[in-house]
Amino acid sequence: MSLSDRPVLLTGACGTIGRMLAERLSALGWQLRLTDLIDLPIPLPRGACFERADLEDAAAIGRLAEGCGLILHFGGISTEQPFETVLGPNLRGLYHIYESARRERARVVFPSSVHAVGLYDRTDILDQDCPLRPDGYYGLSKAYGEMLARLYWDKHAVESVLIRIGSVLTEPIDERSLSTWISHDDFVRLMERCAAAERTGCSVIWGASDNARSFWRRDARDTIGWTPLDSSDSHAERVRGLVTDDPVIERYQGGKFVVVDYSRPDFPPRAMFEDD
């Protein structure tokens, strides 16, 4: 880890991914500063410290980021919620993260999401430069995060790795996750490369293992030197037939998030700017 001489700030340490990263990265010798809105529900990993903080508290986030060379920003709302719920932590909170990164000259790992492109059909194969097509307010906040990261790179040279996460699970749970799954081991290896890469610029990575059924193709993984080693393919027979009976869920890459407050009587046009 090339940034090992500086602490690493991990927000959202109490979430499912945050807890996994806190345990796995501390075991690798990372010097972690952990934070979340609630108390840490696991024993404090060796070499780590924890402080409760609100992403909307600019002073608290700035204090936690002091001296850090890397910010792993996994805090905020992680499910589809009303706009006013998402607004504070996911938009204003992310601004505080990037302002802190600018002051500290820190690199940011921002977990974007499949939900930033969730209204593409599952038959579409996407590259990193596809137009964003969020499937709800959560996905919209991830699209905003990608644009904010680009702004801070273009204007302030703040480096970011934007990971469009599919499904970080111990194993695939249904047919959709055969396309979106990323193993814990592949995800941790990705974090290691985000830290070790000499330069990242503002890079977009599809957060999925080496899955034959993937919805996604080209990205910037060569820039950071990451290659996934695991695959969902061996799980295909186990999850065969594990689908829903909802045609909207089964049509789109975003899955269940798409149907939250879905009021169209039909499907939107396949192309972004078609009228019909």
* Residues annotated as part of the active site: 138
Closest CA to 253 of 75, 104, 132: 132
Helix (H, G, I), strand (E, B) or coil at 180: helix
Closest CA to 205 of 226, 219, 217: 219
Q: What DSSP letter does each residue of 220-254 carry, written as one string? A: SHHHHT------SGGGHHHHTT---S-HHHHHBTT
Fill in the amino acid letter for 226. Answer: W
Handedness of CA 90, 95, 96, 101 (dihedral sign): positive
C-beta contacts of 183-186 below 8 A and 24+ residues apart: 183/209, 183/228, 183/230, 184/20, 184/24, 185/229, 185/230, 186/228, 186/229, 186/230
Residues 6+ apart with CB under 8 A from 214: 179, 180, 206, 208
Residues 6+ apart with CB under 8 A from 2: 195, 196, 197, 198
Report how far residue 194's alpha carbon sits from residue 247's, in angstroms, rounded to the nearest whole number. 37
Listed in sequence order, the DSSP H helices in the chain are 16-27, 58-65, 83-86, 93-104, 137-156, 177-180, 184-196, 221-224, 236-239, 247-251
